[in-house]
Amino acid sequence: MGKVMLEVRNLKTKYVTRFHEDVYAVDGVSFKIEEGKSLGIAGESGCGKSTLALSMMGYYFPPLHYMSGDIIIDGKNISGLDPDEVRKTILGTEIAYIPQAAMNALNPTQKIIRFIEDVVRAHQPKKDKKEIRAMAEQRFAELGLQPGTLDKHAVELSGGMKQRTVIAVSTILNPKVLIADEPSSALDVTSQKMVIKMMRELMEKGYIKSMLFITHELPLLYNVTDDIMVMYAGQIVEKGTAKEMVFDPVHPYSHGLMGSILVPEEGTRGQKLGAIPGAPPNLKKPPNGCRFAERCKYATADCRYTSIPEKPFGDGRMYRCLKGVDELKEVYSGE
């Protein structure tokens, strides 16, 4: 087992809406990522996966608020640190973020190199412009980006170029953990491939040591990450290796999610393609029992009232359902 790069323990955060209502978007999430590994998080939109990404940065500003839990990066617990300390020593250097809408992630009126200067100097105030430029040019070249990009404004770049630039800028300080929130969802297939290739390269060259990849496209995760977690209504409902999760999902929600997409692999052919009916619960008042019970076709009365803990099984896997693993598999095979 490799060195643990990122460990999250029972993390709880909430949103406060403009009507002063609390939305518990991340409700007790725990996981680990080892050095050199990547973890994918899948779920419908609104399940809390993007909030989870923001929450893991350890840097909170309204409307997001930290409640409890630990975020440990390479053995250092960053939750509870002074925000300015987090900003200076953690963000960008220990943990970096690639936002969902990279199209708008760069300041439109600033040259890329000026932004890189600001990023580097936020952590190394003494570094001079020449050094930063040399460093940026080298990294851009290595990642297959033209150094001329540095002297352009964000508005002059195409969508795919913007996204790749954002990835290069995010990782310029060699963070230990990279959190990518749907980095490729808005792109065309070619750009998507380039983005994925770039992220692989970053891992292989050791510029980043671990990665958390968030998406609603499961086939993508299967190709990109080592492990996959499925998130529903602010909680992790199942965790396993990519292969296990795609070909052998246990939780009814994961099962439904796999059924709702086409995976062009053997064994899935002929499987019904159908979205899961219903909508996720209101996270202002999360239900006491299983959060998926309302939409689950296998749910019993007990499911709605019994709080369900994470249940480990198999080789380091976990799921969150009242029913046993075998019981569930039997039901699925009967369909």
Task: Report the interface residues with other proteins, using CB under 8 A.
Answer: 18, 57, 59, 61, 87-88, 90-93, 96-97, 99, 101, 103-110, 115, 118-119, 122-123, 153, 155-156, 166, 169-170
Residue with smaller CB distance to other proteins, 92 or 259: 92
| Residues 187, 13: Cα–Cα separation, whole Å | 30
Residue with smaller CB distance to other proteins, 105 or 331: 105
DSSP 196: H
Long-range contacts of 312-318 (CB under 8 A, 24+ apart): 313/250, 314/240, 314/244, 316/240, 317/238, 317/239, 317/240, 317/244, 317/250, 318/236, 318/238, 318/239, 318/240
Residue with smaller CB distance to other proteins, 77 or 104: 104
DSSP 86: I
| Residues 260, 258: Cα–Cα separation, whole Å | 5
Report in angstroms how near the CB of residue 150 gets to other proteins at its nearest. 14
| Residues 303, 26: Cα–Cα separation, whole Å | 21
Query: Would you state the structure tokens that stand for residue 84, as one six-digit string?
Result: 């300015």
Residue with smaller CB distance to other proteins, 104 or 288: 104
Report in angstroms how near the CB of residue 8 gets to other proteins at its nearest. 17
Cβ neighbours of 263 (radius 10 Å): 16
Residue with smaller CB distance to other proteins, 215 or 235: 215
Residue with smaller CB distance to other proteins, 178 or 276: 178
| Residues 204, 55: Cα–Cα separation, whole Å | 27
| Residues 232, 236: Cα–Cα separation, whole Å | 6
| Three-class DSSP category at 251 | coil
Q: What is the CA radius of gyration of the chain?
A: 21
Residue with smaller CB distance to other proteins, 169 or 321: 169
Report in angstroms how near the CB of residue 122 gets to other proteins at its nearest. 5
Report in angstroms how near the CB of residue 192 gets to other proteins at its nearest. 20
**What are the DSSP E strand ranges found in 74-209?**
76-77, 95-98, 177-181
Report in angstroms how near the CB of residue 157 gets to other proteins at its nearest. 9
Report in angstroms how near the CB of residue 181 gets to other proteins at its nearest. 10
Cβ neighbours of 140 (radius 10 Å): 23
Residue with smaller CB distance to other proteins, 26 or 237: 26
Q: Which amino acid is at 160?
A: G
Report in angstroms how near the CB of residue 210 gets to other proteins at its nearest. 17
Report in angstroms how near the CB of residue 319 gets to other proteins at its nearest. 31
Q: In what order do the strands lie in the sheet with 95-98?
A: 95-98, 177-181, 210-215, 38-42, 227-232, 235-241, 317-319, 311-313
Residue with smaller CB distance to other proteins, 162 or 239: 162
Report in angstroms how near the CB of residue 110 gets to other proteins at its nearest. 7
| C-alpha dist (Å) from residue 222 to 30, 138, 214, 249 | 21, 31, 12, 13
